[in-house]
Amino acid sequence: MNAIKKGGRPAKKLGEKRRYTVSVKLDTREYLSLKTKANSAGITRSEFIRQSISRSVIRSRLTPELNTHIRKLSGMGNNLNQIARKANAGGYTNARSEYLYLADKIDNVIEDIRDDGKDRKG
C-alpha cells in the first residue's frame, strides 16, 4: 500500500499554534498609528501587536501603603519648610530640636518604604 504524501509545512506543536483571537477597538488616531508603525517595521499589524505585547514592560500601580508613605513625606516636607522659615526668622538654635525630630520621622518613613519593597520582592 502506498502512503499518501501530504504536502505543505509540518503541523505546529500545540503550544506554538495561535488559537486565540482578541478583538480590540481603536479610534482613528490609534488605528493610524498602529498601521504606520507596522508598515515602517515591515510587519503585519498582528505581528506588530504580538511583538509589542512580548516586549512591553508594565509597572505595577502604587500600593495603598506606598501612597500613604508618599502623603506622609509630602506633609513632612511642608513641615520642614516651616521649620526653615522659623530658623531664618528666629535663629537656628530654636528650630534645631524640631528639625532633628522631623528628620528622624522622615528616616523612619523611608525605612518603612524600603521594608515594604523587600516584602513585595522577596
Query: Taking Cα atoms as reference points, which of 34, 14, 9 lies closest to residue 24?
Result: 34
Q: For residues 56 and 93, is the Cβ–Cβ distance under 8 A?
A: no
- Please give the chain's pLDDT, 122 residues, in tens: 566 777 787 787 777 788 889 999 999 999 999 999 999 999 999 999 999 999 999 888 888 988 999 999 999 989 888 888 888 887 777 788 888 888 899 999 888 888 876 654 43
Name the domain count of the chain. 2
109: number of Cβ within 10 Å: 15
Non-local (6+) Cβ contacts of 23 within 8 A are none
Residues 74 and 111 in one domain: yes
Residue 117 lies in a domain: yes
Domain region containing 77 = 64-121
Residues 45 and 89 in one domain: no
d(CA 82, CA 76): 10
Residue 16 lies in a domain: no
Q: Is 5 helix (H, G, I), strand (E, B) or coil?
A: coil
Residue 106 lies in a domain: yes
Residue 50 lies in a domain: yes
